[in-house]
Amino acid sequence: MATETGTDAQRYRRYLNEEVDGLYIYQQLAEIEQEPQLKDVYHRLAETETRHLQLWQKQLQLAGADASTGRPSRRARFLMWVARKGGVDLVLPVIKAFENDATDMYAGDLIAEAEKLPEDEAAHARIFAALSRQRSGVQGSVIGRIENRHRALGGGNALRAAVLGANDGLVSNLALVAGFAGAAPGQGAIILAGVAGLLAGASSMALGEWISVTSSREAAEAQIAQEREELRLDPAAEEEELALIYQAKGLPRPEAERLAHLIISDSERALSTLAREELGIVPEELGSPMVAALVSFVLFSMGAIIPVIPFFFGGSFLAIGLSALFSSIGLFVVGAGITLLTGRNMVYGGVRQLVLGLLAAVGTYAIGAAIGGATGI
């Protein structure tokens, strides 16, 4: 029993030291911060850390151990030195990471979980994530333009899968067909290789896209389900956290609390808002795995068939030339289409894709010709 008590005391002491650091950091941030709304946020976070600190002091006293707090760690003091010299923005991501670590540290501890310490630390991490986004230096109007464009052009999984699928299909099958054409095994072998590459690549691309979107969607749904349960069990805590996030974004405290109360009063609206603000998830834009997979399969096939088409009508050098011509047009169009996702100049994107695709084709053609000459195919 004495050993167990000693082990508990060591754990409580470690927890206490972490809370001493947390309290010091929040108090220092409140002193450094010039904006009244954020200063108030840091003071309120410090109040939470004070409650945590007192909990572990009490546990140490019950275990008959020293419950004095001591100085903050060198890590915490250095972090606040950086904040004073370089600005608070530099340390916000680090503090968020600290809060995530604290959440993991308290997970499974019966006393901590009974007092909802993991939930508190996770809430703090989400608040600092919101602060990092808010103070990233990007103007709101710019964010709006980016977001609108993202939704209209590149936000959906279907469009991304379409453009990338067509690109992969065209480039990979062009290289494959060029390699076979270089070896000159005959019209039938080139067609067989092209069609086999099309089917294999399209199936692989579709399956990969389905797995990717499904995994992302399931992870997001699991987070949303957890948020739904937290909202059901303790709506007041979620309302307070949401108010802090809005206050961190610049709303005065009364307005932030009023808005949070209005949102929490409607459970579905509250869940959607919490998913956006706390988790960075937009439930309406999770995407359909089947749509992404189908679009990927079809567009990969459309891209992959382009270099094969001329060989259905012959296997001469004319077919090779037409395959290169059709593929060049396709490469330029796909490269220009990729700029819908990247925002680059369409001509630049098209020419870049054309050059890269043709270089790959020339390389595989040369390799195929060398192998064909060496083996006598």
Tokens in use for 371?
């192998």
Q: Is 286 exposed, middle or buried (0-12, 13-18, 19+ CB in 10 A)?
A: middle
Q: How far, in Å, CA of 292 to CA of 298, rounded?
A: 10
- Give the pLDDT of residue 267: 75
Where do we find the tokens 């309290």?
A: 23
DSSP state, residue 286: S
pLDDT at residue 184, rounded to an integer: 83
What's the whole-number mean pLDDT along residues 95-112? Answer: 83
Residue 150 CA to residue 146 CA, distance in Å, equals: 6
DSSP state of 205: H
Q: Is the pLDDT of residue 192 over 70?
A: yes
Write down the domain spans for the chain: 2-135, 156-217+291-375, 228-285
The residues, any chain, with a CB within 8 Å of residue 354's CB and separated by 6 or more, are 328, 331, 332, 335
Token pair for 132: 């990092």
pLDDT band at residue 308 under the 50/70/90 scheme: very high
Q: How far apart are CA 194 and CA 196, in angstroms?
A: 5
What average pLDDT does the structure give for the chain?
79
- DSSP letter assigned to residue 150: I
The Cα angle at residue 93 between residues 89 and 98, in degrees rounded to 5? 130
Residue 289 has, within 13 A of its CA and on its CB side, a CA count of 11
pLDDT of residue 9: 87
Residue with tokens 């001329």: 310
Pick the CATH number of 2-135 from 1.20.58, 1.10.12, 1.20.1260, 3.90.1690: 1.20.1260
In the predicted model, what is the mean pLDDT of residues 143-155?
36
Whole-model pTM: value is 0.54
**Position 284 confidence tier, pLDDT thresholds 50, 70, 90:** low
* 127-136, 202-211, 213-222: segment of lowest average pLDDT: 127-136
| Phi, psi torsion values for 335, nearest 5 degrees | -60, -40
First to last CA, the chain: 81
Per-residue confidence (pLDDT) for residue 86, from 0 to 100: 77
Averaged pLDDT, 330-343: 77
For residue 149, the model assigns a pLDDT of 36
User: Are 201 and 307 within 8 A, CB to CB?
Assistant: no
